[in-house]
Amino acid sequence: MIRNAIILFICIVMPSISFAQKVKILGFGSSFMEDAFYRLPELLQEDTARVELAFLYKSGGSLTDHIDLMRSQQPKYTYYKYYNEIGEWVNRDSINSRYALLEHDWDIIVLQQSASESGLYYSVQNTLGPLIDSIRHYQPNAQLAWHMTWAFATYSTHPAFEEHYERSQQLMYYRIISVGSQICRDEFDNEFHYLIPSGPVIQYLRNSYLESDNDFCRDGYHIDQNLGRYATACATYESLLADTLNLDIRQVQVSLAEDSIHTESDYAFIRDVTYDICHDTDSLVWSYIKDDRVYNRRFYNLQGILLPNAPVGRVMVRQERFESGRVRSDLIYKKE
């Protein structure tokens, strides 16, 4: 359980929203969206009939790619849809975005940036707005969710890890948090109803007793298909469905038939962590990476311990408490 640590993520508290009969969710993304959706049906159990799940997949798909394909309507997507009747994901190749958008009146549409650009706000700033406008043309009443993805593994050899993040998992993670913060609290704060904190959940587990040699990745950047996919599915479930289904992630059970290594307590730990991350009501966090300045405010280290005189040359957290009771926390990264 997360109790005293400074929370390094954003928690969006929205009123519970009722959907008629079935909740219909569509994702726009890449393999990282697949990782977040794939194990979701097993969490739903008998509620699978109450949820329609689908996502458009493009390998490495960025927001720019989605805009281009929205405008051209070229059939470049693979369309994944979960069929409750057979209990399987079924995919169709060569699908355009219009087909998927018009298949249902979608209740929730999930967006994300490509993995390599997930911590680069400039890659989102001028592309997200046009993509939202295009989606609104087909689905004016759909609610939007932002999928906050995870940082690459410490051993990753992905070229973007060096180019954009100095081969630092911490730096990549903080920049992903920063992008999510600016999207959901600043420029696009009226657009997004939900935030899926897959990245914070994975990062917390990486530093828990469940840490593994593969750093929760199967190839340095895609999440592993066991606990990693389970954790991202938990984040998606709790963010989008728990209130509607009136069953939070802590109450969901898991079958261990295909896992001879981990125990029910391991899975319960993941569900508890996910719940705490999605329901932190004490901090609405705004996170920014600052390379050249340290604020003369209250500082904490990453374990939540107050530093009376914060040193330069490390990652710290600044907190401000406003009259409303909300807390603003800035992550400050100063190069050594």
pLDDT of residue 331: 44
Same domain? For 176 and 314 the reply is no
| Cα 40 from Cα 42, distance rounded (Å) | 6
Any domain includes 16:
no
| Cα 100 from Cα 330, distance rounded (Å) | 39
Same domain? For 318 and 172 the reply is no
Same domain? For 234 and 314 the reply is no
| Cα 92 from Cα 209, distance rounded (Å) | 39
| Cα 192 from Cα 107, distance rounded (Å) | 13
Same domain? For 198 and 86 the reply is yes
pLDDT of residue 45: 82
Please determine, for residue 14, whether its predicted confidence score (pLDDT) is greater than 90: no
**Residue entry with tokens 């311990």:** 305
Please determine, for residue 65, whether its predicted confidence score (pLDDT) is greater than 90: yes
Q: Which residues pair with 307 in a beta bridge?
A: 299
| Cα 169 from Cα 104, distance rounded (Å) | 39
- Burial classification of residue 7, based on how many CB atoms lie within 10 Å of its CB (0-12 exposed, 13-18 middle, 19 or more buried): buried
Average pLDDT of the chain to the nearest whole number:
79
DSSP-derived secondary structure letter, 7: P
pLDDT band at 126 (very low <50, low <70, confident <90, very high): confident
Please determine, for residue 252, whether its predicted confidence score (pLDDT) is greater than 80: yes
- Top pLDDT among 13 and 162 is at 162
Please determine, for residue 289, whether its predicted confidence score (pLDDT) is greater than 80: no
What size, in residues, is the chain?
Answer: 336
DSSP-derived secondary structure letter, 185: I
Span 208-243, pLDDT tens digits: 888 778 899 998 889 998 899 999 999 999 999 999
pLDDT of residue 276: 86
| Cα 159 from Cα 336, distance rounded (Å) | 23
Same domain? For 138 and 272 the reply is yes
- Locate all alpha helices (DSSP H) within 139-218, ordered by sequence: 159-165, 169-182, 198-206
Any domain includes 151:
yes
The percentage of the chain sitting over the pLDDT mark of 70, rounded to a whole number, equals 75
Whole domain around residue 156: which residue ranges? 23-278
Same domain? For 136 and 265 the reply is yes
**Max mean pLDDT range (9-23, 245-259, 308-322):** 245-259
- 11 closest CA partner among 197, 179, 159: 197
**Residue entry with tokens 């298949």:** 103
Same domain? For 239 and 307 the reply is no
pLDDT of residue 185: 67
Span 84-101, pLDDT tens digits: 999 999 999 999 999 999
Any domain includes 7:
no
Any domain includes 186:
yes
Same domain? For 138 and 187 the reply is yes
Please determine, for residue 16, whether its predicted confidence score (pLDDT) is greater than 80: no
Residue 220 belongs to a domain with what CATH number? 3.40.50.1110
| Cα 82 from Cα 35, distance rounded (Å) | 14
Same domain? For 304 and 179 the reply is no
How many domains does one find in the chain?
Answer: 2
**Residue entry with tokens 């295909």:** 258
Any domain includes 13:
no
Chain mean position to CA 197: 4
pLDDT of residue 284: 32
pLDDT band at 20 (very low <50, low <70, confident <90, very high): low
Same domain? For 167 and 304 the reply is no
Any domain includes 283:
no
149: tokens are 């993805």
Please determine, for residue 108, whether its predicted confidence score (pLDDT) is greater than 90: yes
The percentage of the chain sitting over the pLDDT mark of 90, rounded to a whole number, equals 50
- Burial classification of residue 8, based on how many CB atoms lie within 10 Å of its CB (0-12 exposed, 13-18 middle, 19 or more buried): buried
pLDDT band at 258 (very low <50, low <70, confident <90, very high): low
Same domain? For 114 and 187 the reply is yes
| Cα 292 from Cα 283, distance rounded (Å) | 25
73, 94, 104, 249 from 99: Cα distances, Å: 9, 11, 10, 32
Give the sheet arrangement for strand 23-29, strand by strand: 88-95, 77-83, 51-57, 23-29, 108-111, 143-147, 192-196
**Is the CB of residue 234 less than 8 Å from the CB of residue 242?**
no
Same domain? For 194 and 324 the reply is no
Any domain includes 154:
yes
